[in-house]
């Protein structure tokens, strides 16, 4: 059930506004407009053909980066409402949290970061997401990018990590208050993201046959305790239905713990305003200790039994080769870049232009370009 907005919720009235002034909309809030702008981007649509855990061509039933994003958004709205936070701000941050991902998920990010570090820079998907909404999405005649509110741009950069004062990186983030925490709506996203991908990856891993029920109940205490109760209540139900019911209950357990613990931490830390949130020495959202340990155990299990499974490791090695081959090709033959990217070489280093181009590809398009090059 939703609560009334608390004093530490980020309201429309408190926004620091947009980079370029716009008149208010007659029936949509600032953060509703931001949500709609993100949903209508090319970057958001491309998430449908980007890997979550399984390659988009592996099976139609498994999550891709877009369906994962929608699940994060659903959980974020629920948690924010229960905590008396701004659900609209939480929603747009959830919907935008992965738009900077390159093809092949984290594997593509690792490769691009390694290559760019060799060129004296780096690559990080949240920083790339900021550049997408600030520059690469060209939809308006009055300004570049999407002209999102400050809080959304800040949340894109800072939802999953803190930056110390004076921090310097390949993207200038000095205006986004390094050394200061973002609003609570943004801080929630990282843990909500964990709830979504831990439960979904477990579900997809089981459906794929790479994870067995015996392995899951043996190594994941949170799952085992829930599954045992469901098995006792529904002994005649199929294993698949019992597993599905357990995954659903697991999401509820994690979300409920996040709500209860965060509420308690707000009280213990005497948080009353957004300024209190920003000046707090630590991030506020958290799971209860026993649930947090159960969640860590689940993450360890997924790494050891799913993410490092031979089937997925082989796919990751192939992804590395595709990204490296594409990068080296465009580095040697920049004239084969699309005109829209080639003309940016006068403005930025060639390696960054190539990185931006590859980062915008879907898995499908990256593989098609690779095939065309090696054919």
Assigned domain for 231 exists:
yes
Give 36-77 pLDDT, tens digit per residue: 999 999 999 999 999 898 877 666 789 999 999 999 999 999
Task: Specify whether 303 is located in the same domain as 327.
Answer: no
Q: What is the pLDDT of residue 375?
A: 62
CATH number assigned to the domain comprising residue 161:
1.10.3210.10
Residues 81 and 61 reside in one and the same domain? yes
CA 10/CA 366 separation, integer angstroms: 39
Do 274 and 355 lie in one domain? The reply is no
Same-domain status, 75 and 126: yes
Tell whether 355 and 233 lie within a shared domain.
Answer: no
Residues 243 and 125 in one domain: yes
Judge whether 339 lies within some domain: yes
> pLDDT at position 153, please?
98
DSSP string, 301-340: HHIIIIITSHHHHHHHHHHHHHHHHHHHHHHH-GGGS-HH
- Record the pTM: 0.95
Annotate 226-285 with three-state secondary structure.
HHHHHHHHCCCCCHHHHHHHHHHHHHHHHHHHHHHHHHHHHHHCCCCCHHHHHHCCCCCC
Residue 1 counted as domain residue: no
pLDDT at 125: 96
DSSP classification of residue 16: -
Sequence-distant (6+) residues with CB within 8 A of 198 are 254, 295, 298, 299, 302
How far, in Å, CA of 229 to CA of 310, rounded? Answer: 33
Note whether 170 and 293 are same-domain residues: yes
Phi, psi of 149 (to 5 degrees): -65, 160
Residue 216 lies in a domain: yes
Question: Are residue 70 and residue 192 in the same domain, yes or no?
Answer: yes
Indicate whether 299 and 322 sit together in one domain. Answer: no
- Render pLDDT for 192-236 as a digit per residue (tens, 0 to 9): 999 999 999 999 999 999 999 999 999 999 999 999 999 999 999
Total number of domains in the chain:
2
55 and 124 share one domain: yes
In this structure, are 317 and 262 located in the same domain?
no
The distance in angstroms from the start CA to the end CA of the chain is 57
Q: Domain for residue 157, yes or no?
A: yes
Q: What is the extent of the structural domain holding 96?
A: 12-21+28-312
Q: Residue ranges of the chain with pLDDT lower than 70?
A: 1, 57-59, 375
Q: What distance separates the 2 farthest-apart alpha carbons in the chain?
A: 68
Q: Identify the domain boundary among 312, 337, 365.
A: 312
Instruction: Tell which of 291, 312, 333 closes a domain.
Output: 312
Of 292, 312, 332, which one is at a domain's C-terminal end? 312
Question: Cα(91)–Cα(76) distance, rounded to whole angstroms?
Answer: 6
**203 within domain boundaries:** yes
Answer whether residue 351 is part of any domain. Answer: yes
Kindly state whether residue 7 falls inside one of the protein's structural domains: no
């Amino acid at each position: 059930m939703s609560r009334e907005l608390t004093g530490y919720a980020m309201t429309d009235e408190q926004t620091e506004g947009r980079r370029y002034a716009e008149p208010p909309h007659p029936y949509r809030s600032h953060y509703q407009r931001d949500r709609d702008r993100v949903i209508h981007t090319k970057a958001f649509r491309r998430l449908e053909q980007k890997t979550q855990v399984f390659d988009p061509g592996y099976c139609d039933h498994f999550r891709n980066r877009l369906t994962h994003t929608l699940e994060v958004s659903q959980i974020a709205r629920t948690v924010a409402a229960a905590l008396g936070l701004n659900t609209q701000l939480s929603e747009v941050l959830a919907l935008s949290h992965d738009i900077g991902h390159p093809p092949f998920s984290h594997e593509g990010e690792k490769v691009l970061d390694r290559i760019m570090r060799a060129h004296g820079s780096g690559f990080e998907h949240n920083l790339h997401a900021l550049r997408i909404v600030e520059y690469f999405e060209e939809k308006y005649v009055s300004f570049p990018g999407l002209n999102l509110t400050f809080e959304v741009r800040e949340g894109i950069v800072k939802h999953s990590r803190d930056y110390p004062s004076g921090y310097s990186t390949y993207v200038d983030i000095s205006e986004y208050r390094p050394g200061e925490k973002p609003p609570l709506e943004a801080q929630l996203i990282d843990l909500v993201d964990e709830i979504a991908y831990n439960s979904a990856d477990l579900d997809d891993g089981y459906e794929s046959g790479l994870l067995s029920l015996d392995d899951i109940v043996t190594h994941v205490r949170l799952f085992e305790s829930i599954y045992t109760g469901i098995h006792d209540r529904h002994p005649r139900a199929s294993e698949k239905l019992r597993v599905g019911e357990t995954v659903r209950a697991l999401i509820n357990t994690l979300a409920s713990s996040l709500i209860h613990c965060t509420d308690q931490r707000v009280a213990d830390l005497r948080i009353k305003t957004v300024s209190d949130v920003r000046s707090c020495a630590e991030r506020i959202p958290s799971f209860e200790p026993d649930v947090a340990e159960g969640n860590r155990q689940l993450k360890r299990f997924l790494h050891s039994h799913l993410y490092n499974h031979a089937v997925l490791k082989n796919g990751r090695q192939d992804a590395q080769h595709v990204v490296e081959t594409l990068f080296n090709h465009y580095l040697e033959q920049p004239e084969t870049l699309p005109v829209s990217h080639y003309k940016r070489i006068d403005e930025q280093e060639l390696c960054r232009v190539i990185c931006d181009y590859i980062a915008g590809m879907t898995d499908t398009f990256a593989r098609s370009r690779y095939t065309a090059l090696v054919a």
